[in-house]
Structures are given as C-alpha cells and as structure tokens.
Amino acid sequence: MLIAVRTDANARIGGGHVMRCLTLAEELKRRGCDVVFMSAPGTRDSVPALTRAGFRYEELGESLRGLESAASRVGMVDVIVVDSYSLDHAYESAARAIARKVVVFNDAPRRHDCDLLVDPSLGRLAGEYRPLLPAGATVLLGPNYAPLRPEFASARAQALVRRQQTSAIRRIFVSLGLTDLGGISETTVRTLVAMNLPADIDVVISPSAKSRRGLEAMAASNDRIHVHIDPPDIAARMVEADVAIGAGGTSCWERCCLGLPMILVTLADNQADNVRALSAAGAALSIGARENVSTALPKALEQMEPKRLVEMARQAAAICDGKGTERVADSMIAMVATG
C-alpha cells in the first residue's frame, strides 16, 4: 500500500497533527506500507521528529494546485490521510483524483468528503458527524482511537501501579506544545518556582521554543528544574511525574494512557471541548486560558492532595488504553482490502 499523509505544523496550529500522523505512519510502515508526507513550508522546522523519521517528504502549499503538483511526483496512492484544520471538504474531494480512499482526522464536527473519519475527542457522538459525511463513511470516535506511540502502551502498567502509591507531588511534568505559544512554558515554570514547592520540574520544549533561553538560564541556577529539548523518552518522563501541566490538545491522550493527573491550559479554541470533557470526567483541572496561569495554577495545585491525585489517575486511565494506533491502522488496511 502507498499512503500519502497531508498535514501541517506551524507556530499557530502547533505540532500535534503531525505527531499523531507520524505515529500512525510508523505503524503502517511496520506493516509493510510505503508512506509519503505532504506538508506546508515550515512543518519540518516545527516538528523535528518528522525529519528524523526519514519518510519521503513533499513540500507544498495548501492550494489544490500544490496537491496536483505533488501527485505528479508521487503517483496514485491507495489512501490519503488529511489532518489539517485549514483544509476543507473541497480539498478532500480534489484528493480523490490521486487517492482511492480518503481518511480524515478531525477534532470538531464539520463537513468532510472521506471514507473514514477519526475523531479522538472525549464524548464525541456519531450523530454529530452523520449529516456531515458521505453515506457509508466509517466513523471512529473517542480517545481509544488516538494514535499514540507504542512506548505509551508499553509503560502503562508500570505507570498505573505507581499512581496508586502517590503520597505527595514530588515531580511535575510541564509540556505545553511544540510551539510554546507566547512563551507559556517559561511563564508556567516561573509560577511554579515562585510557589517554592518541594518538587522537581521536568519541562519539555522544542529546539525553537520561545522559552528555551529563559528556561535554560533558570535550570542553570536551580537544580530542581530539568529542561528536556525534544526528548526521545517522553513516556518515561511522564511515568515519573505525579502531575502534568499541559495544553488541551492531542497530548492529553498520552497522559490518560499513563494515568497522569492533569492541570490543563486552553491554548486554542479547538482544545476547549477536550478540556471541558476531561474536567467533567475527573481526570483534569482546568485553569482556562494562558493569561490565567500565574494566578490560577497555584490555586489548582493546592487542590491536588494525594487522595485526589489517585482518583484523577484512575479516571484518566479509564479514558485511553494507548492502542489507538493499531485500531486505526487495522481499519485503514481493511478499508483498502474490501475496496
């Protein structure tokens, strides 16, 4: 099977779309598929992991002409996966000229022209999509279809045992997106330092993060701050943590898989549904928009007593088991096999 992946990343939309597509691509490659990425300029700069993965890469704009140009080099593909808020149903319809099947990742109901739709959002209902899709389209909904790298499922059992033994917050995991919107990572860590907590702080950023220089300076003078730049072992870092501070995007499902209680910052409008659903499920506390971090984060941490952490961990773990990548790959291959 030849599979094209059309997805983008930049400072505005973040890198979550590319990361979940990259995870799926690795699984499809493992099953013998050939994968080519088609992305807008700047995508590989925003997500260094895409370059490291070594997949064939075609750079193109968002226009249909760009798709046609890439298609002339790639040829007819069995499946095109489209994961981008900026591309609509007209783009997906045009993609049928180069692809036998169209798969779409989405995080909020809107019109699509696809054969298979995946929306990992918590609490999404099939009825929300049915009027917006072609008749006969398959819909995969919920966090158990979120594509997570295999190390998260592998670390799940160890993490869940550890969560039941939490007696205090000794390690805080901070990860607020590859693009570090407005230097939010530095603001968050400065807020934590001001609280003078007896806890280590692991903060994950990309090489180009706005906060990088400030965080590295803080870490040089405070041995409780540990800066991890695009680390390969992020699952291991999360296992060791007692609570995470993060955004409401695709990384939520990684935290859920490992039963990691969350304090969530809403960094984009499309994260609001996830934040509300996770808060309602008892897996997270919401502190609203990034402007609230300095005042709301200390109040949220004060609520994180040991019993609550254990219960939040239990609720989070029930939301996602980490096997979504396999389920989506199974559905894609079965779809092509049945024509």
Output the pLDDT for position 61.
67
Q: Same fold for the domain at 2-147+323-337 and the one at 150-317? A: yes
Strands of 159-235 (E only): list them: 171-175, 200-205, 225-229
- For residues 72 and 229, give the distance between their C-alpha atoms in angstroms, rounded to a whole number: 37
- For residues 287 and 278, give the distance between their C-alpha atoms in angstroms, rounded to a whole number: 12
How do the domains of the chain map onto residue ranges? 2-147+323-337, 150-317
- For residues 335 and 339, give the distance between their C-alpha atoms in angstroms, rounded to a whole number: 6
- For residues 64 and 9, give the distance between their C-alpha atoms in angstroms, rounded to a whole number: 18
Q: Which residues pair with 37 in a beta bridge?
A: 5, 57
Torsion of CA 44, 27, 118, 255, to 10 degrees: -80
On whether the CB atoms of residues 82 and 92 are closer than 8 A, the answer is yes
Output the pLDDT for position 12.
75
Digit-by-digit pLDDT tens for the chain (339 residues) are 999 999 998 877 778 899 999 999 999 999 999 999 999 888 998 888 899 999 999 988 656 667 777 777 888 999 999 999 889 999 999 999 899 999 999 988 999 999 999 999 999 999 999 999 999 999 999 999 999 999 999 999 999 999 998 899 999 999 998 889 899 999 999 999 999 999 999 999 989 899 999 999 999 999 999 999 999 899 999 999 999 999 999 999 999 999 999 999 999 888 999 999 999 999 999 999 999 999 999 999 999 999 999 999 999 999 999 999 999 999 999 999 997
Mapping DSSP to helix (H, G, I), strand (E, B) and coil, where does residue 87 land? Answer: coil
Question: Which residues, other chains included, contact 121 with Cβ-Cβ below 8 Å and sequence gap of 6+?
Answer: 107, 108, 141, 142, 143, 273, 274, 277
Cα 203 to its chain centre, rounded Å, is: 16
- For residues 20 and 223, give the distance between their C-alpha atoms in angstroms, rounded to a whole number: 33
Tally of residues, the chain:
339
Q: How many CB atoms lie within 10 A of CB 334?
A: 11
Output the pLDDT for position 65.
67
C-alpha dist (Å) from residue 60 to 6, 39, 67, 325: 10, 6, 7, 26
Q: What Rg, from alpha-carbon coordinates, does the chain have?
A: 20
Nearest Cα residue to 203 out of 242, 170, 230: 230
Output the pLDDT for position 190.
98
CATH-assigned architecture of domain 2-147+323-337: 3-Layer(aba) Sandwich (3.40)
Nearest Cα residue to 6 out of 44, 43, 39, 51: 39
Output the pLDDT for position 74.
83
Strands of the chain (E only): list them: 2-7, 34-39, 56-59, 77-83, 99-105, 116-119, 138-141, 171-175, 200-205, 225-229, 243-247, 262-266, 284-289
On whether the CB atoms of residues 129 and 108 are closer than 8 A, the answer is no
CATH-assigned architecture of domain 150-317: 3-Layer(aba) Sandwich (3.40)
